[in-house]
Amino acid sequence: MTMNESAAGTPIIEMRHITKRFPGIVANDDISLSINKGEIFALLGENGAGKSTLMSILFGMYEPDAGEIYIRGEKVRISSPNQATKLNIGMVHQHFKLVSNFTVTENIVLGLEPKKRLGGILPVVDIKGTDGKIAALSEKYGLEVDPRAKIEDLTVSVQQRVEILKMLYREAEIMIFDEPTAMLTPQEIESLLGVIRSLRDAGKTIILITHKLEEIKQVADRCAVLCRGKLVATCDVAATSTHQMAYMMVGREVSNEMEKEPPHFGREVLQVEHLTVKNANGFPVVKDVSFSIREGEIFAVAGVSGNGQDELADAIAGMADAAAGTIRLDGEDITRASVRQRNEAGMAYIPADRQNTGMIMDFTLAENLLLKSYYRPPYCVRGRLHREAFGRKSQELIGAYDIRSGQGADTVVRSMSGGNQQKAIVARELDQQGKLTIFVQPTRGLDIGAIENIHRQILAERAKGRAILLISLELDEVMKLADTIGVIFSGQLLKTAPVQNLTVNQVGNYMMGVTT
Amino acid sequence: MKKNSMKKAFLAVMGSEKRQNITIPLLEVLLGLIAGTIIFLILGKNPIEAFAAFLQGCGLFPKENYAGGRGMFTDFLSYLDNWTPMIFAALAVAVAFKAGLFNIGVSGQMLLSGFIATITVGYSPLPAVVAKPLVILIGVVVGALLGGLIGYLKHRFNINEVVSAIMINYILQYLLSFFILSFYTNPITRQSNVVSDASRLTLQDVMIGDYKTVIPLGFLLALVAVAVMHYFINFTKFGYELKAVGFNGRASRYAGINVRRTIMKAMMTSGALAGLAGVTYYLGYLGSIQPRVLADLGYDSIAVSLLGNANPIGIVFSSFLITVISKGSTYMSSAVSVDQEIGSVITGLMLLFAACGAFVRYKLHMARVSVEEEAREAGKAGKGGDEK
Amino acid sequence: MSTIIIDGMAFAMPLFIIAVGGIYSERSGVTNLALEGFLGAGGFFGALFVACTSSLFAASSQLPMYLSLLVAMVGGGLYALLHAVLCIKFKANQVISGVVVNIIAMALTDFLTSQINTSVFGASSDRFVLSVSSRFTVPVLSSIPVLGGFFTNVYPFEVIILLVALAAYYLLYKTTFGMRLRACGDNPSAVDAAGGDVAGIRYIAVMLSGALSGLGGMCFAYSIFANYSSSIYVGYGYLAIAAMIFGNWKILPTFWACVLFGFARSGGYRLVQVLGMPSTYSDLIMILPYLLTLLLLVFFSKNNRSPRALGEIYDKGKR
Q: Give me the CATH number covering residue A248.
A: 3.40.50.300
Architecture in CATH of B66-328 = Orthogonal Bundle (1.10)
Distance between CA atoms of C152 and C138, rounded to whole angstroms?
6
**A441 and A414 both lie in a single domain:** no
Residue A356, domain member (yes or no): no
Q: Above 90 in pLDDT, residue C216?
A: yes
Task: Write down the pLDDT at residue B385.
Answer: 39
For C280-315, the three-class secondary structure string (H helix, E strand, C coil) is: HHHHHHHHHHHHHHHHHHHHHCCCCCCCCCCCCCCC
pTM across the whole model = 0.88
Residues of A in contact with B235 (CB under 8 A): 384-385
Can you tell me the ipTM of this complex? Answer: 0.87
Distance between CA atoms of A510 and A493, rounded to whole angstroms?
9
For residue A44, the surrounding DSSP H or E stretch is strand A40-44
Out of A228, A254, A280, a domain closes at A254
Task: Write down the pLDDT at residue B383.
Answer: 45
Q: Does B232 touch chain A (CB under 8 A)?
A: no
pLDDT tens-digit series, residues A429-488:
999 888 999 999 998 878 777 888 899 999 999 999 999 999 998 888 999 999 999 999
How sure is the predictor about B2, in pLDDT bands with cuts at 50, 70 and 90? low
How sure is the predictor about B110, in pLDDT bands with cuts at 50, 70 and 90? very high
Q: Does B169 touch chain C (CB under 8 A)?
A: yes
The residue type found at A73 is G
- Number of Cβ within 10 Å of residue C26's Cβ equals 24
Phi, psi (deg, nearest 5) at residue C176 = -55, -45
Q: Above 80 in pLDDT, residue B320?
A: yes
Highest mean predicted confidence (pLDDT) among C34-43, C62-71, C143-152: C34-43
Residue A422, domain member (yes or no): yes
Phi, psi (deg, nearest 5) at residue A290 = -130, 135
Mean pLDDT confidence for B35-52? 91
Task: Write down the pLDDT at residue B380.
Answer: 57
For residue A84, the enclosing domain spans 1-88+173-254
Q: Above 80 in pLDDT, residue B371?
A: no
Mean pLDDT confidence for B24-28? 88
The residue type found at B208 is I
Which of C176, C193, C317 faces A125 most closely, judged by CB atoms? C176
Q: Above 60 in pLDDT, residue B1?
A: no
Q: Above 50 in pLDDT, residue A3?
A: no
Q: Above 50 in pLDDT, residue A4?
A: no
- Number of Cβ within 10 Å of residue B202's Cβ equals 23
Residues in chain B: 388
How sure is the predictor about C91, in pLDDT bands with cuts at 50, 70 and 90? confident
Which of C98, C238, C283 faces B177 most closely, judged by CB atoms? C283
Distance between CA atoms of B376 and B126, rounded to whole angstroms?
73
**A302 and A317 both lie in a single domain:** yes
For residue A25, the surrounding DSSP H or E stretch is strand A25-35
Are B273 and B82 in contact, with CB atoms under 8 Å apart?
Answer: no
How far, in whole angstroms, is CA C121 from its chain's centroid? 29
Are B178 and B289 in contact, with CB atoms under 8 Å apart?
Answer: no
How sure is the predictor about C160, in pLDDT bands with cuts at 50, 70 and 90? very high
Could you give the C-alpha distances from A235 to A28, A38, A244, C42, C49, in angstroms and in order? 19, 17, 10, 65, 72
Probe site for chain C from A21, A63, A97 (most C CB atoms < 10 A): A97
Out of A428, A444, A471, a domain closes at A428
Task: Write down the pLDDT at residue A164.
Answer: 95
Distance between CA atoms of A114 and A116, rounded to whole angstroms?
7
Q: Above 90 in pLDDT, residue B114?
A: yes
Mean pLDDT confidence for A383-387? 92
How sure is the predictor about B278, in pLDDT bands with cuts at 50, 70 and 90? very high
Mean pLDDT confidence for A145-151? 93
Domain locations along chain C: 2-132+149-300
What residues are paired with A157 via a beta bridge? none
**A113 and A55 both lie in a single domain:** no
Q: What's the number of CA atoms in the CB half-sphere (13 Å) around residue C262?
A: 23
Nearest CA in chain B to A371: B255
Beta pairing class for A284-294 and A332-333: unpaired
For residue B202, the surrounding DSSP H or E stretch is strand B202-208
DSSP track, B75-129? HHHHHHHHHHHHHHHHHHHHHHHHTT---TTHHHHHHHHHHHHIIIIITS---HH
The residue type found at B150 is I
Q: Above 50 in pLDDT, residue A6?
A: no
Are B264 and B152 in contact, with CB atoms under 8 Å apart?
Answer: yes
Probe site for chain B from C81, C238, C246, C313 (most B CB atoms < 10 A): C238
Residue A73, domain member (yes or no): yes
The four Cα atoms A270, A271, A275, A279 give a dihedral, to 10 degrees, of 0
Could you give the C-alpha distances from B321 to A245, B30, B216, B317, in angstroms and in order? 66, 12, 19, 6
Q: Above 90 in pLDDT, residue B143?
A: yes
Domain locations along chain B: 1-44+356-388, 66-328
Q: In the CATH scheme, what is the code of domain C2-132+149-300?
A: 1.10.3470
Higher pLDDT pick, C304 / C288: C288
Could you give the C-alpha distances from B337 to C35, C110, C212, C288, in angstroms and in order? 33, 16, 36, 41
Task: Write down the pLDDT at residue C281.
Answer: 79
Residue A201, domain member (yes or no): yes
Residue A52, domain member (yes or no): yes
Distance between CA atoms of A37 and A473, rounded to whole angstroms?
34
Q: Above 60 in pLDDT, residue A61?
A: yes
Which candidate, B184, B185, B222, places its Cα nearest to that of B201? B222
Probe site for chain A from B254, B260, B361, B363 (most A CB atoms < 10 A): B254
- For C57, residues 6+ apart whose C-beta sits below 8 A from its C-beta are C63, C64
Q: What SS3 class is residue A264?
A: coil
Distance between CA atoms of A419 and C19, rounded to whole angstroms?
46
Burial class of residue B358 (count of CB atoms within 10 Å of its CB; 0-12, 13-18, 19+): middle
Q: Count of domains in chain A?
A: 4
Residues of A in contact with B244 (CB under 8 A): 360, 363, 371
The CA-based angle C205-A165-C188, given to 5 degrees, is 25
pLDDT tens-digit series, residues A218-276:
999 999 999 888 999 999 999 988 888 888 887 776 666 667 888 889 999 999 999 99
Which candidate, B99, B144, B93, B92, places its Cα nearest to that of B242? B99
Are A156 and A183 in contact, with CB atoms under 8 Å apart?
Answer: yes
**A303 and A448 both lie in a single domain:** yes
Distance between CA atoms of B2 and A508, rounded to whole angstroms?
59
**A442 and A510 both lie in a single domain:** yes
Residues of A in contact with B237 (CB under 8 A): 374-375, 380, 383-385
How sure is the predictor about C319, in pLDDT bands with cuts at 50, 70 and 90? very low
